[in-house]
Structure 1
Amino acid sequence: MGRFRRGAIAGVLGLAALMGGTGVAEAGKVSIGHFIWVGYGPLYLARDLGYFKENGVEVDLQVVDDSSLAMAAQAAGKLDGVATTVDDILKYRSGDFCFKAVAVLDDSAGGDGIVAAKDIADLAGLKGKTVALNEGSTSQFWFSYLMKKAGLALDAVTVTNMTADAAAAAFIAGHVPAAVTWEPNLTLVKTQNAGKVLVDSSTTPGVIVDVLEFSCKFVEEQPEDVKGIVLGVQKAMDYIKTNRTEAYAIMAKGVGGYLENPKDFADAASGVRFYDKDMMAAYLGTAGAPGAVAEVIKLANEIWIDLGRMKAPVAVADVVDPAFVR
């Protein structure tokens, strides 16, 4: 399972609808799947402000809340692209399923975290304890990344598999001593004095990163559409900087779900960093000199292989095309 947000039933129904579509791409028309996440708001901002149309592209944004379902729809030719995290896409790359990340949308800067009992002082204090998290998801990748950085073995803890919301609920109820979850659950733990946030993603910038990827066939056959989409997203990022309140209202309405209230969207946005053109270019780098994305892909390869989620490493060039952000 990929990164999972609220609305699994909607995701399954959305996949069924997608699988019933034609899957035939037309020049100037692009379909993008995503789950509900604050970081995908700029896609709606670019659509609703007409930035995509300025570049001759009509974009159809479809909510499929489980990224594994969205990736399956793309593999079946029912979507041109998917917005999800860097670590997530590696698990799906194969000789039969080719795609490239062409833009960076955001990274988690406090929106994800580990909650723990008050007597647990650090990651080493988790050794021998049970940690609730969503196996195979970005939560597990990030937790494993932290463990590796701290020099701790991945099997030093016992993992119990739950969605991030269920993990938080189990922790607050006292059923597990630690959990990996995200906002608003981190704030809920603090306000209910149920424990503490042991570490959050503000300490790991550039690790939990959302990208926009398209099938290799689409990139090769419709490069002008890809270029138009990236330019539209970059213009939306600039709009956020100068018109934050208006941007949040538009993005909240577009993304919908648990983020449909502009205040809730703004609260969630405080835990992410939106990437402008320069940040995108720096993160992806160039074909000859990849940016920080290369280190994340290296670590994700190691972690997913160790956890049995991948059989062989994926090269940066296999999943990243840095040309469009420039």
Structure 2
Amino acid sequence: MSFRIASCLRTTALAAGMALAALPVAEAGTLKLGMTTWVGYGPLFLARDMGYFEENGLDVELEIIEEAALYMAAMAAGELQGTASTVDEIMKYRSEDFCFKSVYALDDSHGGDGVLVPEDLDSFVDLKGMEVGLNEGSVSQFWFNVLLKENGMTEADVEITNMTADDAAAAFMAGRIPVAVTWEPHLTFARKANKGRVLVDSSQTPGVIVDVVALECGVIASQPDDVKALVKGLNKANDLIRENPQKAYEVMAAGVGGWLSDPDEFAASAAGVNFYGRERNAAFFAGGDEGEAGKLIKLGNEIWGSFGKLQMELGYDDLVDASFLEE
């Protein structure tokens, strides 16, 4: 199975290569985006396959690349014009030499991510001193550190074992580790197998794990009509999700494919996210540095900055161009 797999590569080394990359000029009327296999990216496939992009004169090519470092490097080299990824993930790659900005929010995790613990563990502070399996450098580490911060703790209070979210779930199910930070469908598998319990999930931290479409700044400047078409198509896709979810899930399952190719599996996984349409985008990106998006970026500065993962300190204007939402 493939999920939102984040890279453990050093982003500083990658950034050095990015600075040397010569960006080809993108062809007007086309956008190529990279992403992992994730239910929250379904609206992109829905808009493509229902012809919503095409009716606005835009050809969108979607490429599954199951590692953040690879799709970000491809965007830096001009092989992609943008990506779909979490806000915290893309923050690690933004630099003075590699400019990209979020133009649309796709979804947030609403129960799709969680912390698996022993059945008898009562509260988050009881994790002190315990081994926790998670993917270092990924959204799992970011989110877990948000939880630690909310409970007056740091990673020094637990013992981190670095492993992918898939491996963490497998190790938990096998009894090899007591705590795992993972995501669906592993949370559901654990519940069905009566293996421990989900101590906390992302429905309790709304607006923290947010997926966005980010485009390279040169593309935004040179292809504004294409960005407008992208936004229009995604808005229409979200309208269909709201009005006819069964039809939308069938189309998205076929488009996203992989472990989500079954419409029933897609629908079950979609229950763990909130899809963002035009109204939710307007609310999320409103308020600049003091709005939802701005505060999430500040949180990313605090957490990833403390781990030395950022190339620069970022503000709202460094990572967001919400002007196309008004179209």
| TM-score strictly above 0.5 | yes
Once the two structures are superposed, the pairs formed by residues 304-319 of structure 1 within 5 Å of their partners are 304-310=304-310, 312-319=312-319
Q: What is the DSSP-based 3-state SS (H/G/I as helix, E as strand, rest coil) of the residue aligned with 1:106? A: strand
Once the two structures are superposed, the pairs formed by residues 1-326 of structure 1 within 5 Å of their partners are 3-4=4-5, 23-285=24-286, 287=288, 291-310=291-310, 312-326=312-326
Structure 1: distance between partners of 2:25 and 2:259: 32
AA partner of residue 317 (structure 2): A
Tell me if structure 1 keeps the 8 A contact 2:253–2:266.
yes
Shift of 1:154: 2.5
Q: Could you give the per-residue CA deviations for residues 227-260 of structure 1, whole angstroms, max 9, x where no partner exists? A: 1101100110001111110100000000000000
AA partner of residue 77 (structure 1): G
AA partner of residue 296 (structure 1): L
Tell me if structure 2 keeps the 8 A contact 1:93–1:99.
yes
Q: What is the DSSP-based 3-state SS (H/G/I as helix, E as strand, rest coil) of the residue aligned with 2:142? A: helix
AA partner of residue 246 (structure 1): K
Structure 1: distance between partners of 2:4 and 2:317: 23
Shift of 1:291: 2.4
Tell me if structure 1 keeps the 8 A contact 2:93–2:311.
no
AA partner of residue 323 (structure 1): S
Tell me if structure 2 keeps the 8 A contact 1:23–1:79.
no
Structure 1: distance between partners of 2:65 and 2:196: 33
Structure 2: distance between partners of 1:217 and 1:205: 32
AA partner of residue 119 (structure 1): D
For structure 1, the residue ranges without an aligned partner over 5 or more in a row are 6-21
Structure 1: distance between partners of 2:213 and 2:88: 13
Match of 2:13?
A: none
Name the Cα RMSD after superposition: 1.5
Shift of 1:310: 2.1
Q: What is the DSSP-based 3-state SS (H/G/I as helix, E as strand, rest coil) of the residue aligned with 2:132? A: strand
Q: What is the DSSP-based 3-state SS (H/G/I as helix, E as strand, rest coil) of the residue aligned with 1:65? A: coil
TM-score (normalizing by structure 1): 0.92
Shift of 1:308: 2.4
AA partner of residue 291 (structure 1): G
Q: Could you give the per-residue CA deviations for residues 120-177 of structure 1, whole angstroms, max 9, x where no partner exists? A: 2111111111100010000100000011011112221111111101000101111111
Tell me if structure 2 keeps the 8 A contact 1:100–1:216.
yes
Match of 1:16?
A: none
Q: Could you give the per-residue CA deviations for residues 247-283 of structure 1, whole angstroms, max 9, x where no partner exists? A: 0000000000000010110010000000010100100
Tell me if structure 1 keeps the 8 A contact 2:92–2:311.
no
Shift of 1:316: 1.2
Q: What is the DSSP-based 3-state SS (H/G/I as helix, E as strand, rest coil) of the residue aligned with 2:161? A: strand
Structure 2: distance between partners of 1:223 and 1:297: 24
Match of 2:15?
A: none
Tell me if structure 1 keeps the 8 A contact 2:95–2:311.
no
Tell me if structure 2 keeps the 8 A contact 1:3–1:88.
no
Structure 2: distance between partners of 1:224 and 1:312: 30
Choose 147-156 or 262-271, whichever is displaced more.
Answer: 147-156
Q: Could you give the per-residue CA deviations for residues 174-220 of structure 1, whole angstroms, max 9, x where no partner exists? A: 11110100011001111111100000001011110000000000000
Structure 2: distance between partners of 1:298 and 1:47: 33
Structure 1: distance between partners of 2:60 and 2:24: 14
AA partner of residue 27 (structure 1): A
Tell me if structure 1 keeps the 8 A contact 2:52–2:233.
yes
Tell me if structure 2 keeps the 8 A contact 1:112–1:182.
yes
Q: Could you give the per-residue CA deviations for residues 293-318 of structure 1, whole angstroms, max 9, x where no partner exists? A: 11111111111111222254211110
AA partner of residue 92 (structure 1): Y
Structure 2: distance between partners of 1:178 and 1:210: 25
Shift of 1:113: 0.2
Q: What is the DSSP-based 3-state SS (H/G/I as helix, E as strand, rest coil) of the residue aligned with 2:325? A: coil
Classify 1:277/1:239 alpha carbon distance in 2 versus 1 (closer, same or farther; 3 Å): same
Shift of 1:24: 4.3
Structure 2: distance between partners of 1:307 and 1:132: 18
Structure 1: distance between partners of 2:113 and 2:102: 22
Identity of aligned residues (%): 52
AA partner of residue 64 (structure 2): V
Aligned structure 1 segments of 4 or more residues deviating by more than 6 angstroms: none
Tell me if structure 1 keeps the 8 A contact 2:101–2:319.
yes
Shift of 1:3: 3.9
Structure 2: distance between partners of 1:240 and 1:300: 30
Structure 2: distance between partners of 1:217 and 1:324: 15
Tell me if structure 1 keeps the 8 A contact 2:105–2:211.
yes
